[in-house]
Structure 1
Amino acid sequence: MTPPYSLDDRLPADHYAGALREDVAAGLTASPKSLSPKWFYDARGSVLFDRITRLPEYYLTRAERMALRAHAADIAEQTGARTVVELGSGSSEKTRILLDALAAAGTLERYVPIDVSSTALGEAGQALSRDYPTLAVTAVLADFEHELALPPPGETGPRLVAFLGSTLGNFDTGQRTAFLSRLRSALTGGDALVLGVDLVKDPAMMIRAYDDQQGVTAEFDKNLLTVLNRELNADFQPGAFDHRAVWNAEQERMEMRLRARVATSAKIPPLDLAVDFARGEDLRTEISVKFRREPLTAELASAGFAVEQWWTDPQERFAVLLALPTA
């Protein structure tokens, strides 16, 4: 008998609308103006991002897959995980590498994808249930930035938490500290964390990854304004902005920005807010911190994690690391 697929909805009915309004009100009245990258991923944004991951310039997804494929068996052997929990699971495509390795090792029983998109969870969960007939898939609709929503350890451990795609890089230092501390508090002995992070490298390579020649990333970036127009009845003019990918050398992070090509303004009626942009003014839409081994290892240690393994793709562009909670 095939184990059931289930969806546990942890989000309040008004979560999306309330969180969007809160983020937009705070970000567009700040100086400099900024928005969270979480709002990129409506249906169109998700399709565009999938296209980005297949572009020749976008090395991140390919490099992470290389490292995972090379060392998934090691992860399975060292963790013996019965449950894989994925934070920000999306399509769950890369996670199949881990699932395959744990299934081959004979320990895999349950997969718990956690995401804010019910559509992504439903599509991925149903596909996994078909492809892994002995796997119980328990999807959780939740915002892991506010609620980790990990299954209890008693009957599901040992648990392997997967946080892939260098999503950790979307957090600034303070956000990372808070997130990693909360995650450590939710784990027990025997649990493990597999983390995918992008590494500091040639800025030109990174800029190309965030500003491709076909303009797909630019379209993805501007789609954020379309989301605001639709969800908040705003009147942004996406054509009044240019996409920019900027390497912030001081903070060692890529930044995606929308730069006003002319002086422009937008009204957001539900917030009773009018936002003015001077010509050349930037709206930062994403940060993507790039990491170095020693500082990240120290950061994880401060949060209560010991890095047991650090693996990279052959060109050392991207790292996959296995970390265990310390006493």
Structure 2
Amino acid sequence: MNVYAPALANAHLPDETTSAFASDAVAGLTQHPKLLPPKYFYDAKGSDLFEQITRLPEYYPTRTELGILRDRGAEIAKIIPDDAALIEFGAGATTKVRLLLESCRFAAYVPVDISGDFLTEQADSLRRDFPDLAVHPVIADFTTTFKLPDAIHGKPKVGFFPGSTIGNFEPHEACRFLRSAREILGAGALMVVGVDLEKEERILHDAYNDGAGVTARFNLNLLVRINRELGGNFDLSGFVHRAIYNREQHRIEMHLIARKPQTVRLLGTTVSFRAGESIHTENSYKYSIERFGALARGSGWRVRTVWTDAAKMFSVQALVAEA
């Protein structure tokens, strides 16, 4: 029985995804310190805001990664097996995958994401633009084990995980994800991963505290979702976005800070905030090439090739699943 059903009946259709959101939100907000999982950033509004972030002048990762994929496309194509299927974990906008599809000959593309409507829209767009490509979207939480479509059985598998999303996992979670991806793709598979690199702190600070406030709206959209989908009553004006660099942990941390004392109710649970109290919403780990190589090896992968931009701000890495 869904224990959240009465509250959800007045908020959002109590489907499996919403029930997971409800469980995670209640669990996270009743912990100390409080937290919310970053995977819930990406409803339709959050996905749109993130696309806006990627075009901001301060936000270097997207344009730098796109530059690597564009400039090194021919080199990437040389290591892709014939008749391969490309499986994208956490598929969002198609800008990056289009570069791979244009430079490499894939027989099939499997975008995997939890946001079904957005996924279907992007898949339809790719079918129109790549009529010879078989597109098989899978609606699933890519951080868990899921089944690949029967249509790609027997084809060589190439995973794609761009955008430095690997840095949003705690290191042990990144290991677990890479092990899961290896199990899904199989021994001998390739994985092309975007990995953000360590750099000067001012660049990092500005990238996550943009002058236009788009990242702040993206962060606050988590509370908007809770109000809309879970019947919460957050006073949005009572919270402010803050991103800081934790030097010891090699990570950017995103927080929502309470401006004033506030009591919030959601799904029959009361959550109190002190002035200055934080909801920790995201980490973004920055790696050296050596540290990420060690993480990959500990997860059943071998680093085959590393491509970077000239300034070594970002890397695209090709991993091979060990037998």
* Fold in common (TM above 0.5): yes
Question: Secondary structure in 1 aligned to 2:25?
Answer: helix
Partner of 1:4: none
Residue by residue over 1:52-88, the C-alpha shift from the partner in whole angstroms, topping out at 9 and shown as x without a partner, is 1100001110011011112222222112252110000
Judging changes above 3 Å, is the alpha-carbon distance between structure 1 residues 318 and 152 closer, same or farther for their aligned structure 2 residues?
A: farther
Kindly indicate whether the alpha-carbon contact (under 8 Å) linking 1:169 and 1:197 is maintained by their aligned counterparts in 2. Answer: yes
RMSD of aligned Cα (Å): 1.5
What's the offset of the Cα at 1:148?
3.6
Letter in 1 for 2:270: A
Aligned residues: 309
Residue 88 of structure 1 is aligned with which of 81, 87, 90? 90
What is the aligned-residue identity percentage?
Answer: 42
The 1-side partners of 2:153 and 2:42 are apart by 33
Matches within 5 A, 1:1-327: 14-81=15-82, 82-103=84-105, 108-151=106-149, 155-268=153-266, 270=267, 272-327=268-323
The 1-side partners of 2:108 and 2:206 are apart by 38
What's the offset of the Cα at 1:275?
0.8
Letter in 2 for 1:23: D
Judging changes above 3 Å, is the alpha-carbon distance between structure 1 residues 289 and 149 closer, same or farther for their aligned structure 2 residues?
A: farther
Kindly indicate whether the alpha-carbon contact (under 8 Å) linking 1:45 and 1:223 is maintained by their aligned counterparts in 2. Answer: yes
Kindly indicate whether the alpha-carbon contact (under 8 Å) linking 2:108 and 2:152 is maintained by their aligned counterparts in 1. Answer: no
What's the offset of the Cα at 1:256?
0.8
Residue by residue over 1:231-279, the C-alpha shift from the partner in whole angstroms, topping out at 9 and shown as x without a partner, is 11100011101110111111111111011111112111x2x21111111
The 2-side partners of 1:60 and 1:191 are apart by 26
Question: Secondary structure in 1 aligned to 2:143?
Answer: coil
TM-score (norm 2): 0.92
The 2-side partners of 1:237 and 1:259 are apart by 12
Question: Secondary structure in 1 aligned to 2:72?
Answer: helix
Judging changes above 3 Å, is the alpha-carbon distance between structure 1 residues 152 and 319 closer, same or farther for their aligned structure 2 residues?
A: farther
Letter in 2 for 1:88: G
- Point out the more displaced range, 38-47 or 290-299: 38-47
The 2-side partners of 1:16 and 1:235 are apart by 21
Gaps of at least 5 residues in structure 1 are 1-12
Letter in 1 for 2:108: R
Kindly indicate whether the alpha-carbon contact (under 8 Å) linking 2:198 and 2:288 is maintained by their aligned counterparts in 1. Answer: yes
The 2-side partners of 1:36 and 1:137 are apart by 29
Question: Secondary structure in 1 aligned to 2:136?
Answer: strand
Kindly indicate whether the alpha-carbon contact (under 8 Å) linking 2:34 and 2:278 is maintained by their aligned counterparts in 1. Answer: yes
Question: Secondary structure in 1 aligned to 2:320?
Answer: strand
Question: Secondary structure in 2 aligned to 1:306?
Answer: strand
Judging changes above 3 Å, is the alpha-carbon distance between structure 1 residues 317 and 149 closer, same or farther for their aligned structure 2 residues?
A: farther
The 2-side partners of 1:24 and 1:154 are apart by 36
TM-score (norm 1): 0.91
Kindly indicate whether the alpha-carbon contact (under 8 Å) linking 1:153 and 1:188 is maintained by their aligned counterparts in 2. Answer: no
